[in-house]
Amino acid sequence: MEAWSHDRWRIPLPDGHKFPIDKYERLRQRVEAEGVVIHESEPVPWEWLAAVHDDALLARIRDGEMTLREQRGLGLPWSEVLVERGRRSVGGTLGAAGDAFAHGIGMNLGGGTHHAGRDFARGYCLFNDVAVTVARLRSEGRARRALVVDCDVHQGDGTAQILGPDPEAFTLSLHGARNYPFERIPSDLDVDLPSGTGDDAYLTALSDALDTALRFDFDVAFYLAGADPWEGDRLGRLALSKPGLKARDEHVLTRLTPRAPVIVTLAGGYAPDVGDTVDINAATVSVVRSLS
């Protein structure tokens, strides 16, 4: 199996910051030791980002002119490496798309930046890797109809803004009802889960939601395998166990892969001990590997 990583581009963060910058290197080292071949993600060209993002927003990001309010909404301080890392994170999802079209499934050890919309970058998400990849696959004539299955615990508002109104895309977001973002932009299908939802109720809701989503006819699918529905997550408020999260990954991927090429991204994960997030992400990699 192959996967894409951009962990060498580490953003400078103040002490105690919640963004789990260490998980990317630790996950890459762990899966590499298990025999996964890692490619270093390339920075996506600005023109490709401009296919889905507002030119003025991109100029502010490129030139270091994001307002203080925008940087606060993003939750990360602007730096040159932040921009480079963001472009490479999208590049990893594009690389994974190449693998998916060659072998059926591909994986970015990052990406899933679903809070980035056409004209906003927030919630640790600078660019929307999934939307940019959909635009790219369309312009290359490789795919038109895209399904997004977003299992990060936070609602996928940026993806919903860009792809929700698109008749050739279907966006499903399964998330905590009482969690960020508090002002929603509707997906094609939003599933709001009560705080404290555990494995059984989650997997039932997921299965029902996929029954609906899979009526959509698609020729590429994206899976955002967020680690933040885990019971110990600082920002999650749900109560899935590690085996429950692995069962979730198996359920989604065994239903998607027979239908179309599938691109898997990590999205969020905020365990107090980053090792737990790495465990959950590594389990997702093992499921992808079993299907490669």
Interface residues with Zn ion (CB under 5 A)?
152, 154, 226, 228, 268
Q: How far is the CB of 106 from Zn ion (least distance, A)?
A: 21
Helix-, strand-, coil-residue percentages of the chain, each rounded to 5: 40, 15, 45
Sequence-separated (6 or more) residues with CB below 8 Å from residue 246: 283, 284, 286, 287
CB neighbours of residue 53 within 10 Å: 26
Q: Nearest to residue 127, comparing CAs of 11, 18, 184, 45?
A: 45
CB nearest Zn ion: which residue? 268
- Looking at beta carbons only, is 99 or 233 nearer to Zn ion? 233
Q: How far is the CB of 270 from Zn ion (least distance, A)?
A: 8
Q: How far is the CB of 86 from Zn ion (least distance, A)?
A: 17
- Opening angle at CA 278, ends 264 and 282, nearest 5: 50
Q: How far is the CB of 243 from Zn ion (least distance, A)?
A: 20
- Looking at beta carbons only, is 164 or 268 nearer to Zn ion? 268
189-193/169-176 β-pairing: parallel
- Looking at beta carbons only, is 125 or 213 nearer to Zn ion? 125
Q: How far is the CB of 217 from Zn ion (least distance, A)?
A: 28
Q: How far is the CB of 268 from Zn ion (least distance, A)?
A: 3
Q: How far is the CB of 56 from Zn ion (least distance, A)?
A: 27
- Looking at beta carbons only, is 91 or 226 nearer to Zn ion? 226
- Looking at beta carbons only, is 53 or 175 nearer to Zn ion? 175
Q: How far is the CB of 23 from Zn ion (least distance, A)?
A: 13
What is the full DSSP assignment across 92-116?
A: HHHHHHHHHHHHSEEEBSS---TT-
Tokens of 254: 């065994």
Are the C-beta atoms of residues 248 and 151 closer than 8 Å to each other?
yes
CA distance 64 to 43: 17
Sequence-separated (6 or more) residues with CB below 8 Å from residue 62: 46, 83
- Looking at beta carbons only, is 122 or 154 nearer to Zn ion? 154
- Looking at beta carbons only, is 145 or 154 nearer to Zn ion? 154
Q: Nearest to residue 53, comparing CAs of 115, 113, 132, 114?
A: 132
- Opening angle at CA 161, ends 250 and 236, nearest 5: 45
CA distance 198 to 271: 17
